[in-house]
Amino acid sequence: MKTAQITSFGPPEVLRVTETERPSPGAGEVLVAVEASSVNGHDTIVRSGGLKMVSGRKFPLGVGLDFAGAVVAVGPGVEGYRAGDRVWGMVHPRQRHTTAAAAEYVVVPAARLGLAPAGVPAVEAASLVVAGSTALIALRDSVGLGEGERVLVRGAAGGVGTAAVQLAHAMGGHVTALARDRHAAVLRDLGADAVLDYGTTTSDAIGPFDVIVDTVGSELHCYRGRLGKGGRMVTVGLSAPALAAIAASAIHGSRRIRTFSANPDSAVLSDLAGFVTSGALRPTVHSVYPLADIAAAHEAFERGGVMGKHVLAITG
């Protein structure tokens, strides 16, 4: 099978698409024919060497977290899935993989798999797995967004940001999106009640908010200061400065900066599918690349400034 692998730590050019043996599912595992996989920040951080403590230094390394496709076979003890089922899921982000989701086939534990929302093409479904589950966990589980609360989504044009805008709107929040002005019309269509231009708006000119969802990872202490009484902030944009700001914010109790590792299980994926099926969550795909052009997809991701997700079309 064809699979994308990291051959050394470095820029996108270290990515190679090679032929490897198709894996077989073990006990509790499912073999999926991957049709699409999206590009996520985790992929580029691993590729550049930012997670050596987790990935190790032995090459090759598989790349790609999320996927959408069809079940090929199930291992012993697996119930609820059979060959041909349309599924989506995610490989474990903290385990080392020589092949991962950016491949023609992937093996994952059944607990990391869910039935994909019916009628949604694989490219669109794959764009929502990491982005949508991250936004859902952030809003529902991390900060407990309540109906009528004022929400700021920082970095609202990205994959997690567009999902957060939609889910916050669906949960009854009053949503302010912070993004480039050129994305304002689309963000309003996705459910934002207000859109602020990231290029001209400073943190001290906005707020207060009940909830802030940050996807950028910089200036966290400034934005934390825009929380109202009882406000909560969560960031998914992790960096060394961000980790320092998170640690320093612990003294602020409920107004501390929270973070988490998005690691969705079948229950989260099922809940996410419900939002998609109801129409509350729509995919936002910026561009689609064939697997052979994964290096170009990584380059485009790192340039930023786009609306939505970069997705790899593995088959078709």
Check residue 194 and give its pLDDT: 97
Helix (H) or strand (E) holding 2: strand 2-6
- The CATH homologous superfamily to which domain 130-258 belongs is NAD(P)-binding Rossmann-like Domain (3.40.50.720)
List every span in the chain annotated with CATH 3.40.50.720. Answer: 130-258
Check residue 316 and give its pLDDT: 60
- Cα–Cα distance between 151 and 154 in angstroms, integer? 10
Helix (H, G, I), strand (E, B) or coil at 285: strand
**Secondary structure (DSSP) of 28-49:** TEEEEEEEEEE--HHHHHHHHT
Averaged pLDDT, groups of 10, the chain, 316 residues long: 96 97 97 97 90 77 96 97 97 86 97 97 98 97 96 96 98 97 96 94 90 91 91 82 68 76 91 98 97 98 92 89
Provide the 8-state DSSP code for 158.
Answer: S
List every span in the chain annotated with CATH 3.90.180.10. Answer: 2-127+283-313
Helix (H) or strand (E) holding 134: helix 129-136
Q: Torsions phi, psi of 147, nearest 5? A: -60, 135
Check residue 219 and give its pLDDT: 86
Question: Whole-model pTM?
Answer: 0.93
Burial class, 235, CB count within 10 angstroms (exposed 0-12 / middle 13-18 / buried 19+): buried
From 13, 111, 50, select the one nearest 240 (Cα to Cα). Answer: 50
Burial class, 262, CB count within 10 angstroms (exposed 0-12 / middle 13-18 / buried 19+): buried
**CATH among 3.10.20.30, 3.90.180.10, 3.30.300.130, 3.30.43.10 for 2-127+283-313:** 3.90.180.10
